[in-house]
Every structure is written in C-alpha cells, then in structure tokens.
Amino acid sequence: MDRRDFLTASAAGAAASVSIAAVAQGAAPSNRAKFRMKYGPHFGMFKNSAGDDPIDQLKFAADQGFTAWKTTA
C-alpha cells in the first residue's frame, strides 16, 4: 500500500467513525450545506411529497434544508 492509498483509507475511516458517532449520540445530520438557493417554497409545492397538511409540508421543507417560506402568491 502506497502513501496515497493509506491516506485515502485513513481519511475515509475517520469520516465514517465521526458520522457513526454523531448518529449514535442522537445528533441529527445538518442540512445547512445541502440547500443554498435564494428562494423559499410555498404551500402546495411539496403536496406530493408531504401530503395536504401545511404543517407536514413545512416540516418536509425544513428537512430538505429550506430556511425560508413564501407566504404570499
């Protein structure tokens, strides 16, 4: 095993162990870096994914990384 393969394997192992430790402690994975668009969803946008309930749509949007919500048409 050469140095490059060793470093790659070590980095992957370290990242996996940190991720597993965070999940084991009950920490929810962060969605901060997942979504960076400059617009917010609106009611009905996630009707097919979250159902008709507006609260479920808000929760689904938050799980997808949205941090804003458009309230007017």
Residue 12 pLDDT grade (very low, low, confident, very high; cuts 50, 70, 90): low
Residue 52 backbone phi and psi in degrees, to 5: -80, -20
Query: pTM, whole model, 2 decimals?
Result: 0.48
Contact 61, 37 (CB under 8 A): no
Residue type for 19, please?
A: S
Burial of 66 from C-beta contacts in 10 A (0-12 / 13-18 / 19+) = buried
Percent of residues, the chain, with pLDDT higher than 70: 51
| pLDDT over 90, % of the chain | 7
Please provide the average confidence, as pLDDT, over all residues in the chain.
Answer: 73
pLDDT at 58 over 80: yes
Phi, psi of 36 (to 5 degrees): -135, 20
